[in-house]
Amino acid sequence: MAEDNNLNDNEDDDLDLKSLNDEDLVAQMHDDLYDGLKAEIAEGVNILLSRDWEPYEVLTKALVEGMRIVGIDFRDGILFVPEVLMSANAMKAGMAILRPLLAESGAPQMGKMVIGTVKGDIHDVGKNLVSMMMEGAGFEVIDIGINNPVENYIAALEEHNADILGMSALLTTTMPYMKVVIDALKAKGVRDDYVVLVGGAPLNQAFADSVGADAYCVDAAVTVEIAKDLMARRQGSGVDRMTLAAEG
Amino acid sequence: MTNIGPGTLAGSAEKRPGLLIACGALAREIMAVLDAGGLDGLDVTCLPAHLHIRPQLIAEAVRAKVRLGKQSHENVFVLYADCGTGGDLDAVCAEEGVTRIPGAHCYEFFAGAETFAAMSDAEPAAFYLTDFLVRHFDRLVYAGLGLDRYPELLDDYFGNYRRVVYLAQTKNPDLEAQAKAAAVRLGLDYEYHFTGYGGLAAFTTHANQTAKQAANQRVST
């Protein structure tokens, strides 16, 4: 696939996206997402919107489907972190245009996730990948950034009425803070209101179990699969809605 | 360095005293410690340094080396910190009955646990380099993160960092210049901190002593 894309790069240099019909343009956007081409994705989104596509339709058919392909190849070891970061940044460019329009139109969502790295931890590459992959899968993501004390998590969960809490840590010295957050949720009697997902290089399933998380997510692609699965168990209608919309 | 391979001592009835199983990123430093101390009770075998970026593979790779090493050596030691295995390496060491150098990562055992904790508290946004990482910065850090192909990702990787801290094992002006250049390349401030071999020297010396004492005891009985 990579070779094909490289060959296409030259051909695409002069490609006028406006000249493509909707079907070809969406296919081209899938390729552009795969190749991490930010400007092309932004242009493609604007073209589809100018053709009276609903923002939600652009999201699901052009971006979500494109990121789904990226996610599969990441999971299968065909794409690696740098390439997926490039795709995520391209996705971000598209989402910057769509996000306000989606909010206005009240489009359906898979669920709402609050995510951030824990107190003392500034390492956010994994967290950012998860954010974009989740957004690419149709979740609303409230990214509260790095170095978060428990108060930040709880405030964001309450403010946004979130379904999922995602916590990330790279350091063995900071990962125990995840238990502090989960214990705080228990103390407030709201632990079971949220799906709690944890991830980061030094974590494993045993750690996730020991701190009382719902799941350990080994990478961004797996996070999406687990989140979908757990949300389907909690509120299957959201997933069905999204799937039907994506399938057109 | 004596880097034993599978079956090196096959056919030899007598086991050698001690084997140090180490991260390939530490090979040069271990050799320096062994040479400087005249430590002749240990053989050394290394796992590939690139496991550093795939920590989920470390524990089982160490287990395989330990089992192989036990066939040829009386005492086996592990010169790996936890290295992002999330306790998996400790579990393997406990199951296999071997000890490892204490610490979360090599930065900690080079600098010393207390010193490193104080440095981390003072500046959590530090990116650490060792002699090994300075030597191999281009390949392991810059190209390893894809920055040679996608320089625009620099901010994605290093946007939250404020400084490069070079934990130097040796006083080497060339390496210091390279470390400074790396900091400039990453757009970060630079700090130099000489550690020497720190806990690596202490652990290696202790392992050598333990292996030789055990060997002597066997001889005397």
Nearest CA distance, B210 vs chain A (angstrom): 29
**A36 vs A109: CA distance, rounded Å:** 24
Under 8 Å between Cβ of B39 and B92: no
pTM: 0.81
Confirm whether B213 is domain-assigned: yes
**B210 vs A115: CA distance, rounded Å:** 48
Confirm whether B161 is domain-assigned: yes
Judgement on whether residues B149 and B167 belong to the same structural domain of the protein? yes
Confidence grade of residue A238 (pLDDT, cut at 50, 70, 90) = very low
For residues B149-180, one letter each, b for 16 or more C-beta atoms within 10 angstroms of the residue's C-beta and e for the rest, the string is: ebeebeebbbebbebbbbbbbeeeeebbebbe
Confidence grade of residue A32 (pLDDT, cut at 50, 70, 90) = very high
Average pLDDT for A232-246: 56
Q: ipTM score here?
A: 0.78
Residue A122: its chain B contacts at CB < 8 A?
124-125, 160-161
Residue B136 belongs to domain spanning: 113-194
**pLDDT at residue number B12:** 53
Judgement on whether residues B20 and B46 belong to the same structural domain of the protein? yes
Confidence grade of residue A13 (pLDDT, cut at 50, 70, 90) = low
Provide the β-strand partners of residue B73.
B16
Confirm whether B82 is domain-assigned: yes
Judgement on whether residues B166 and B211 belong to the same structural domain of the protein? no
B14 vs A: CB within 8 A: no
- Interface touch B145/A82, C-beta < 8 Å: yes
Judgement on whether residues B64 and B138 belong to the same structural domain of the protein? no
Judgement on whether residues B51 and B125 belong to the same structural domain of the protein? no
pLDDT at position A226 over 90:
yes
**A88 vs A36: CA distance, rounded Å:** 7
pLDDT at position B207 over 90:
yes
Nearest CA distance, A122 vs chain B (angstrom): 6
Whole-number Cα distances in Å, B194 to A123, B68, B111, B166, B191: 25, 36, 8, 8, 10
Judged by average pLDDT, the poorest of B48-57, B182-191, B200-209 is: B48-57
**B162 vs B189: CA distance, rounded Å:** 6
Confirm whether B34 is domain-assigned: yes
**pLDDT at residue number A56:** 87
- Please tell me which residue, B199 or B1, carries the higher pLDDT value: B199
Confirm whether B1 is domain-assigned: no
Number of folded domains that form chain B: 2
Judgement on whether residues B98 and B11 belong to the same structural domain of the protein? yes
Under 8 Å between Cβ of A146 and A118: no
Judgement on whether residues B16 and B102 belong to the same structural domain of the protein? yes
Q: Which two tokens stand for residue B217?
A: 């005891």
Average pLDDT for A26-39: 96
Whole-number Cα distances in Å, B26 to A68, B58, B95, B133, B212: 40, 15, 24, 10, 22
Q: How many CB atoms lie within 10 A of CB B133?
A: 22
Strands A140-143 and A195-199: unpaired
Confidence grade of residue A241 (pLDDT, cut at 50, 70, 90) = very low
pLDDT in tens, A86-141: 999 999 999 999 988 987 877 777 899 999 999 989 999 889 989 988 987 889 99
Confirm whether B185 is domain-assigned: yes
Work out the mean pLDDT of chain A and round it to a whole number.
87
Of A83, A89, A173, the CB nearest to B104: A173
Q: Which two tokens stand for residue A14?
A: 């002069």
Q: What angle do CA A207, A208, A209 make, to 5 degrees?
A: 90
**pLDDT at residue number B1:** 41
Average pLDDT for B52-78: 93
* Amino acid identity at B151: P
- Interface touch A204/B88, C-beta < 8 Å: yes
**pLDDT at residue number B150:** 96
- How many residues does this entry show for chain B? 221
- What three-state secondary structure class fits B119? helix
Q: Which two tokens stand for residue A239?
A: 């997933």
Q: DSSP E strands: which ranges in B90-203?
A: 99-100, 126-129, 163-168, 189-194
- Interface touch A172/B84, C-beta < 8 Å: yes
B151 vs A: CB within 8 A: no
Question: What percent of chain A has pLDDT above 90?
Answer: 62
Residue B86: its chain A contacts at CB < 8 A?
172, 175, 201-204, 206-207
**A8 vs A31: CA distance, rounded Å:** 9
**B213 vs B42: CA distance, rounded Å:** 12
Q: How many CB atoms lie within 10 A of CB B76?
A: 25
Q: Which two tokens stand for residue B28?
A: 């040069």
Judgement on whether residues B83 and B169 belong to the same structural domain of the protein? no
Average pLDDT for A144-158: 96
CB pairs under 8 A between A and B: 59
Q: Which two tokens stand for residue B93?
A: 């060491």
Judgement on whether residues B79 and B59 belong to the same structural domain of the protein? yes
- For A201, the closest chain B residue by CA position comes to B84
Under 8 Å between Cβ of B85 and B78: no
pLDDT in tens, B140-198: 999 989 999 999 999 999 999 999 999 999 999 999 999 999 999 999 999 999 999 99
B87 vs A: CB within 8 A: yes
**pLDDT at residue number B181:** 98
User: Which residue of B153, B161, B188 is the best one to mutate when testing the A interface, meaning the one whose CB has the most A CBs within 10 A?
Assistant: B153
**B169 vs B200: CA distance, rounded Å:** 10
Helix (H) or strand (E) run with residue A216 in it: strand A215-216
Looking up residue B11, the CATH number of its domain turns out to be 3.40.50
Nearest CA distance, A40 vs chain B (angstrom): 16
Judgement on whether residues B95 and B179 belong to the same structural domain of the protein? no
Judgement on whether residues B10 and B86 belong to the same structural domain of the protein? yes
Judgement on whether residues B101 and B202 belong to the same structural domain of the protein? yes
Confidence grade of residue B6 (pLDDT, cut at 50, 70, 90) = very low
Under 8 Å between Cβ of B221 and B55: no
Residue B117: its chain A contacts at CB < 8 A?
173
Confidence grade of residue A195 (pLDDT, cut at 50, 70, 90) = very high
Confirm whether B41 is domain-assigned: yes
**pLDDT at residue number A104:** 81
- Interface touch B124/A128, C-beta < 8 Å: no
Confirm whether B131 is domain-assigned: yes
H-type alpha helices, chain A: 2-12, 22-34, 38-50, 55-57, 65-75, 81-105, 125-136, 150-160, 177-187, 205-211, 220-247
Residue with tokens 């954010």: A131
* Amino acid identity at A99: R
